[in-house]
A and B are shown apart, each in its own frame.
Chain A
Amino acid sequence: METKLQIHDTGNGYPGDQQLLRLRRASSGQSHQNYPQFNQNSDPTEEEEEGVEEVDSSGPNVELRNTPLPMAIKRAVWKSQQMQDNRASSSKSWKQKNKKSLRNLRSITREAGQFFTLWGKSLQLIGGNFGGGVQSYFLFLRFLVILNFFSCLLIAGFVLIPSIIFRSVGTSLENSTGPEECMKYDPNPPGLVLFYNYFLDLLSGTGFMEYSYLFYGYYNNTQVAEESFSYNIPLAYLFTAVFYFAFCLICLIIRMGNAARVAVATGGSAVGSYSMIIFTGWDYGCLGDQATRLKQKNIHYQLQVDLEEEALSRRAASLTACQKIVHYTLRVVTFLIALGLNAAAFYGIFEATNFSQQNSGRAGFLGLFFEYLPSIAITTANFVVPLLCDQFALIERYSPSTTVILVLLRAVFLRLLSLGVLILTLWQQITCDGNANSRDCSLCKYNNKDYPCWETRVGQEMYKLTLFDFLVNLAVLVLVEFPRRIVVDHCPNKLVQWFGRQEFAVPHNVLGLVYGQTVVWTGALFCPLLPVINTIKFVILFYCKKITLFHNCRPALKTFRSTTSTIYFLVTLVFGWGLATVVMIYSLAEIQPSMGCGPFRFFPTMWSIVPTSFYNLSAVTQDFLFFIGSQAFSIPLFVFSCVVMCYFIALAAVYGKSVALLRTQLKLEGRDKKFLVRQIEELSRQLERPNANSGAHS
C-alpha cells in the first residue's frame, strides 16, 4: 500500500487525484465504478491484480460489462470469477446455471423483439441518413398505425362481428312506435344506377356504400336475450365507442409519460445550450458522405442560430422605450391580422359546408365536387393561411426558437378549429341551430327532411375528409415532389438550383397526421369502420413518405430536437382527442338519434340505453353502482385523489430542490478536492526537502 502514496508531480492532475482516491478506497472499501481508470502507462500484470482486487471488493452485483476496463482485463477477471465459482458450493453453481439460462432467455427475447418490431430496419436507416427529427415523425406514424390497428380489432370484435352474426341469423328487431314521418329512410335510390355511379359512390360514401357496415345506419338495435347468452347491440356499440376513446387516451398518456420521464430526468434542457450541441450534437450513427456533410452544416447552423439569438436578445435589451413601443405595436397588429385571416378561413369553411349540404342531391361529377367542397375548403385554408402568416415572422422578429413554436401553435389552432367549424355547421343544420321548435325540427327534434339518418351523414363527411386527405397527399407526392426533383436534377438554371430539392418538413407532416387521426376519432362513433380505413391509409402513407424521403428530399438544415419534439406531437394529439371527445359526448347525450336507422332509433338520446339496461341488472349490482355514484362515495374519493396529487406535487418539488443542492455540493466537492491535493503536494514537498537535506549532509 506504501507504493500508492507516490504522487506524480503534474500539478493539476487527475492522476494525482486518482492516487488520492485509491487511498480513500483502501480505507473505506467503497465501490468506485464511476471513476475511469486512466492507466495508460501501466504495467499489465500489476493492473490485472489491482483490477481483480477492486472489482471483487465491490461485490458480485457489479456487471462486468458495465465496467470501463480494457477487454483483456475484463476477460481475466471473468476467468478468475469462473474459477471461484467452480470451487464454490453447489447452491452457488446452481445460481450460476440460473443466471446463464436467464441470459440466454434474454438474448432470445431480444432477437425475437427485433424481428417483430414493425419497420425496425427502415426506421434505423431513416435515422442514420436524415437524423432524429425525421425519424421521430416516422416513429409517431408507426405508433398511430399500431393504435388504429388495435382499435379496429376492438371495434370488430364487439360491434362488427356480432352484428354480422345476428343479421345472418335473423334475430328479430324490436319495434316501437313513433311519428311515421321520422321513420322514413330509404338509402337505396330507385331506378337504374349508372356504372360510373359506383365510383362516385365509393368516393362519397353514398349509394351502395351508405347502407353497409361502414356507417351507423346499417346497424340494428337487436337485443338477444336467451337463457345462457345475451347480447345487446346498442349497449355494445355505445360502450365500445366510449372504451375506444378511453383506450386511446391511456395509450397516449403512457407514451407521453415515457418521453416526459426522459425530459424531466434531464432537467428540461435549455434549447441552444452550447455544451449540449458540441458534445451530444454529433450523431455517431450518421451514415454516408452526404449525410455527414449535411450534419456538419446542421451543427454549424445550430451554433449560428444560438449566437444570433444571443445577439438579438442583447439588441432587444438595448432598445429605447420608443422603439420598444413600436415593436410591440407591430406585434399586436400582426396578431390581429393573423386572427382576421383565421376568421376569414373559418367563414369560408362555414359557407362551403352550408352550400354543400344544400346541394347534396346533385348527380354526376358536379355532385361529387359539391360533396367534397368542405374538404377542399379546409385543405385550402390550411395551406394558404400559414403561408401568409409566415410572412409576418419577418416583421415580428421573435427569436428563431420562439418563431418555430409560434408557427406550430398557429397551425395546430387553425387545423383543429377548421374541423370544429365544419362540425358546428353540420350541427346547426341537423338540429336547426339547437332550436327544437323551429319548423323543420318540430316533428322529430332533428331535421328529418334533409337528414333522415343524420349520423350516417356525419359519418360520410368524416369519411370524405379522410379520403380527401389521403388523395391530396398522394397527389402532392406524384404531381409536386417527383417533378420537382426531376426538374432540379436535370435543369442547371441557377434559380432552380437555389430552389433546390425539397426538405422533409417534419412539423407540417406531423400536423397532417394529427389532423387525420382527429377526423377518425370524431367519426368513429358514426362510421365504425373508419379506424380500419385509417390503418390502411397510414400504412400506405408510411411507404409513400419513405419513398419520397429517400428519392426526393435532402436532409433539413434546421432540425427538430427529437426527444422534446415527441412530447409536442403527443400534446397536439391530445388536443385533437379532446375535440373528438367533446363531439362524442354531445352526440351521445344531447341529440335525438335518428328514428329511421341505427341501433338507437327508439331512444330519446343515445345514452338513455344505459339507464334502461341498468335496471335489468341484479339488485345487488344496482345497489353497488348506486353507492359508487352517490355523494357518500364520490366526495371522499375526490378528496383522497386531491391529497394524493398534492403529495406527488410536493415530492416533485423536493426532488427538484435536492437536484439543485446536489449540484452545488458537487461544485464544493471539486474545490475541496483541489485544496486537499494542493495540501498533500505541499506536505510531500516538505517531506522531500528534509530528506534531501539530510542526504546532502551525510
Chain B
Amino acid sequence: MGNKQTIFTDEQLDAYQDCTFFTRKEILRLHGRYHELAPHLVPMDYTNEPDCKVPLSLIVNMPELKENPFRNRIVESFSEGGDGNLSFNEFVDMFSVLSEMAPRELKAIYAFKIYDFNVDNFLCKEDLEKTLNRLTKEELTPEEVELVCDKTIEEADLDGDNKLSFADFENMISRAPDFLSTFHIRI
C-alpha cells in the first residue's frame, strides 16, 4: 500500500491482522497508545521484536481501564506469568478480545479467567464474593452478599459441585443477551 511507517515490517503487520480483529491502522494506533504509556521503555522500532514489558501500574492508568473495578484482573489474565506486565503482543491481544468483533466464545473464555481471582480454574464462592464486592463497591451487607452468591451458584451450577466450572459459566453466558455489548472496551 505504500505506507511509510517504520514501526513494523509488513510481515509483522500481516501477522497481527490475522491474529487479531484489528486493521493495519488500528494496530499502528494501538502501538502509539502503548508507546504513550512508557515512552522511555517502549521503542518506536519493533521490526526486530524487542522484549520490553510495560508494568501493570502504568497500564491500569489508561483512561479506558482506570475506572474499571476489574482492571487488575483484566491485565493479569492477559499477561504471560499472571503478573500483569504486558508486552505489546499481549497488549494487542487484550484489546482484540475486548473489541466488538470478538466472538462470544472467545470472550467467555477470558471473562472466566478475569473473574477467577484465585486462578484455580473454578469460580468458587470466594471468587463470587470478591466480584460482587467490586461490582457494588462493598455496599451490600454480608448477609446480602452471601444470599446473592448462593443464588448465583444455584442458578448456574450444572454439575452440582457448588462452584462454577468453565462449562457452567459458558452455558450461563450463552443465555445472556447483553454479554457481547457489555464485555467490550472501545479503544
Contacts and interface: CB of A to CB of B under 8 A. Distances in A.
Given A68-B109, A279-B172, A78 B18 contact: yes
A75 interface: yes
B139 A300 contact: yes
Given A279-B173, A287-B67, A70 B178 contact: no
Contact of B176 (A12, A279, A296): A279
Given A36-B166, A71-B92, A670-B159, A107 B177 contact: no
Contact of B177 (A40, A300, A564): A564
B152 A286 contact: no
A72 B89 contact: yes
* Chain B interface mostly: helix
Contacts of A38: 121
A670 B158 contact: yes
Nearest to B136: A300
A280 B131 CA distance: 12
Interface stretch (B19-27, B28-36, B37-45, B53-61): B19-27
A2 B68 CA distance: 45
A220 B98 CA distance: 59
A275 B152 contact: yes
Contacts of A72: 80, 87, 89
B151 A274 contact: yes
Nearest to B82: A40
Contact of B63 (A124, A287, A671): A287
A65 B135 contact: no
Interface stretch (A262-270, A450-458, A475-483, A530-538): A262-270
Contact of A278 (B137, B147, B152, B186): B152
Contacts of A671: 159-160
A299 B69 CA distance: 13
Interface string A102-114: 0100010011000
Interface string B109-128: 11111010001111000001
Nearest to A33: B105
A111 B119 contact: no
Contacts of A697: none
A110 B68 contact: no
Interface string A456-484: 00000000000000000000000000000
Given A274-B155, A663-B171, A75 B177 contact: no
A279 B111 contact: yes
B159 A284 contact: no
Nearest to A128: B186
A364 B50 CA distance: 80
B103 interface: yes
B155 to A, nearest CB: 5
A551 to B, nearest CB: 21
Contacts of B6: none
A71 B17 CA distance: 12
Contact of B144 (A82, A307, A663): A307
8 contacts: A64-B18, A66-B102, A71-B20, A78-B15, A107-B24, A275-B152, A282-B182, A562-B178
Given A262-B177, A280-B182, A299-B135, 15 more contacts: A14-B122, A70-B80, A74-B93, A124-B186, A263-B177, A266-B174, A278-B131, A282-B68, A284-B182, A287-B67, A292-B69, A667-B159, A670-B160, A671-B160, A674-B159
